[in-house]
């Protein structure tokens, strides 16, 4: 169905070919109306310009482009994040590592977010824990530009560094907690050619190896930058928890364990630097 100029907003919404939530999001984006205004102004006619804009948006979605990239934003941990093809789309699964970090970060603690992308983890922690100091790094300057905008947009202070993992850190820096959602999809995984992942930056999804290479680098390097007893928390793939726990144990971390996301999948593993 092509949106018809002059048709009521309510009728257009009901006739769009996507699922109801996506219909609403794209209609709001095309018209500038809020979710409540779509209800209260359901009889308002769609203008020619709005109809043309909506048709383009719907076609992009039918072509498979993620909704978040189409509208340029995604909600995460109760906050709005700007997103583009330069960064991964923040996902609800990643809220688990934010919750774990907030719980384990001591008062006035300094947190490091490695491979920050859109800034989702760093900004969410900084917003929930204004007492904390937060540093976030990424190799991509395009990602860092978006992360800086998201920190400003959500009213938080985050120190951003362009860095290939630990490369830009000072040798004497120490953190009360390090968190990371690194690339962990193995090269050639069929999921890379499916769904939203087709549009997301490959370098933020896969390590172009066995899926564990970035995790190995972080696990091996983190003790030099962690305070004694401080936590390292890592998001990983649905089938990688056992391997990540083994890597942590081999490097001498204590209290090594995994935590399950809302789907019951072991999504985050971590351990503490030995005292």
pLDDT for 1 beyond 60: no
Taking only the tens place, the pLDDT of each residue in 134-178 is 999 999 999 999 999 999 999 999 999 999 999 999 999 999 999
Distance of alpha carbon 148 from alpha carbon 141, whole angstroms: 10
CB atoms within 10 A of CB 67: 19
99, with CB counted inside 10 A (0-12, 13-18, 19+), is middle
DSSP string, 32-85: ---HHHHHHTTTPBPPHHHHHHHHHHHHHHHTT--HHHHHTEEEETTEEEE--T
The pLDDT, as a whole number, for residue 207 is 83
Average pLDDT, the chain: 94
Find all residues with CB under 8 Å of 78, minimum gap 6, and list them. Answer: none
Contact 252, 274 (CB under 8 A): yes
Domain locations in the chain as residue ranges: 9-63, 86-272
Taking only the tens place, the pLDDT of each residue in 218-270 is 999 999 999 999 999 999 999 999 999 999 999 999 999 999 999 999 999 99
**Architecture of the 86-272 domain:** 3-Layer(aba) Sandwich (3.40)
- Prediction pTM value: 0.91
């Amino acid at each position: 169905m092509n949106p018809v100029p002059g048709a009521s907003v309510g009728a257009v919404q009901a006739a769009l070919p996507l699922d109801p939530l996506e219909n609403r999001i794209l209609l709001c984006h095309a018209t500038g109306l809020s979710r409540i205004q779509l209800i209260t102004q359901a009889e308002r006619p769609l203008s020619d310009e709005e109809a043309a804009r909506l048709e383009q948006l719907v076609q992009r979605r039918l072509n498979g482009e993620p909704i978040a990239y189409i509208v340029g934003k995604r909600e995460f941990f109760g906050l709005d994040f700007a997103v583009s093809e330069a960064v991964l789309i923040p996902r609800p699964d990643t809220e688990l590592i934010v919750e774990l970090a907030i719980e384990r970060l001591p008062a006035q603690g300094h947190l490091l977010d490695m491979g920050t992308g859109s800034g989702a983890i760093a900004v969410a922690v900084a917003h929930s824990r204004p007492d904390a100091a937060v540093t976030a790094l990424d190799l991509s300057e395009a990602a860092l530009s978006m992360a800086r905008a998201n920190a400003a947009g959500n009213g938080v202070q985050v120190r951003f560094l362009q860095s290939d993992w630990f490369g830009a850190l000072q040798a004497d820096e120490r953190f009360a907690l390090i968190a990371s959602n690194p690339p962990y999809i193995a090269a050639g995984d069929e999921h890379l050619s499916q769904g939203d992942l087709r549009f997301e930056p490959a370098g933020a999804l896969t390590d172009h190896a066995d899926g564990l290479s970035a995790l190995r680098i972080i696990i091996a390097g983190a003790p030099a930058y962690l305070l004694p007893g401080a936590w390292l928390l890592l998001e990983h793939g649905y089938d990688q928890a056992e391997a990540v726990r083994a890597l942590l144990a081999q490097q001498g971390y204590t209290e090594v364990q995994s935590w399950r996301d809302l789907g019951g999948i072991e999504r985050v593993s971590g351990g503490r630097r030995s005292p």
